[in-house]
Amino acid sequence: MPHGKRIAELLVDIGAVKLSIDPPFTWVSGIKSPIYCDNRMIYSHPEARNIVVDALVSRIKSLHVEPDCIAGTATAAIGWAALVADRMDLPFVYVRAKAKEHGAKKRIEGDLKPGWDVVVVEDLISTGGSAISTVEALREEGESHTADVVAIFTYEMLVATEKAQSASVNFHPIATFGTLLDVALEQGRLGAEEIENIATFAENPKEWAA
What residues does each domain of the chain span?
2-208
Give the single-character DSSP code of 189. S
This prediction has a pTM of 0.94
Least Cα distance to 61 among 79, 43, 84, 94 occurs for 84
pLDDT in tens, 192-205: 999 999 999 988 89
pLDDT in tens, 44-66: 999 999 999 999 999 999 999 99
pLDDT score for 1 = 47
User: Rounded to the nearest 10 degrees, how much is the dihedral formed by the CA atoms of 41, 176, 203, 199?
Assistant: -80
**Per-position b or e across 11-43, b if 16+ CB within 10 A of its CB:** bbeeebbebeeeebeeeeeebbbbbebebeebe
Name the architecture of domain 2-208: 3-Layer(aba) Sandwich (3.40)
pLDDT in tens, 67-120: 999 999 999 999 999 999 999 999 999 999 988 777 677 999 999 999 999 999
CA distances from 26 to 4, 21, 68 (A): 26, 11, 39
